[in-house]
């Protein structure tokens, strides 16, 4: 008979699960920025998720989740760096710490920009949002989008260019408003 799961620890609440889910992009970006796009980065990301899940009861829903989650990921990244050092000559702890801190700043900025992008995308007309999603999420070509929407390829190209510019300006406005407040 297989061992049963630890039943003494209560299951994380919905707020924790939502916060953990929303932080995945930033956590993975942090691990990859610190370690490169390699299996070690994926392993650090997965171990950070395991630790976060285990410490779910320690998180206060009244505080921001991402800084706490990134601190956990930072320790996992440093563990990978220490393991690398045992295997071969690598960065010393001070350099690794500087790189991890720079990656932390990048991950937090990425999360803020992602939130701003989501708010700006909500403001777009549904057909414009659909064209962007079709191209950038699902990877459809401009020709495929043109065919589906009864447009010329040139019109789709111009539309996507204008939408990218519009989103970039909106994101910058959002970030400026956030930093002003």
Q: What is the mean pLDDT of residues 65-86?
A: 87
Return the HEC string of the chain.
CCCCCCCCCCCCCHHHHHHHHHCHHHHHHHHHHHHCCCHHHHHHHHHHHHHHHHCHHHCCCCCCHHHHHHHHHHHHHHHHHHHHHHHCCCCCHHHHHHHHHHHHHHHHHHHHHHHHHHHHHHHCCHHHHHHHHHHHHCCCCHHHHHHHHCCCHHHHHHHHHHHHHHHHHHHHHHHHHHHHC
**What confidence tens digit (pLDDT) does each residue in 13-51 have?**
889 999 999 899 889 888 888 887 778 889 999 999 999
**What confidence tens digit (pLDDT) does each residue in 130-151 have?**
888 888 878 889 999 999 989 9
Task: Identify the pLDDT of residue 2.
Answer: 44
CA nearest 160: which of 131, 134, 139? 131
Say if CB 120 and CB 129 are below 8 A apart: no
């Amino acid at each position: 008979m297989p061992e049963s799961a630890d039943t003494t620890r209560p299951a994380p609440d919905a707020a924790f699960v939502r916060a953990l889910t929303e932080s995945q992009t930033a956590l993975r970006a942090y691990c990859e920025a610190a370690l490169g796009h390699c299996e070690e980065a994926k392993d650090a990301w997965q171990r950070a998720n395991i630790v976060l899940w285990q410490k779910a009861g320690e998180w206060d829903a009244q505080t921001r989740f991402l800084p706490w989650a990134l601190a956990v990921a930072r320790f996992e990244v440093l563990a990978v760096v220490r393991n690398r050092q045992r295997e071969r000559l690598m960065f010393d702890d001070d350099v690794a710490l500087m790189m991890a801190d720079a990656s932390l700043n990048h991950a937090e900025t990425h999360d803020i920009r992602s939130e701003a992008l989501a708010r700006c995308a909500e403001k777009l007309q549904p057909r414009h949002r659909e064209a962007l999603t079709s191209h950038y999420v699902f990877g459809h070509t401009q020709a495929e989008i043109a065919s589906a929407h009864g447009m010329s390829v040139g019109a789709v190209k111009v539309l996507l260019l204008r939408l990218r510019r519009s989103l970039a300006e909106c994101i910058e406005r959002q970030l400026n408003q956030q930093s002003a407040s």
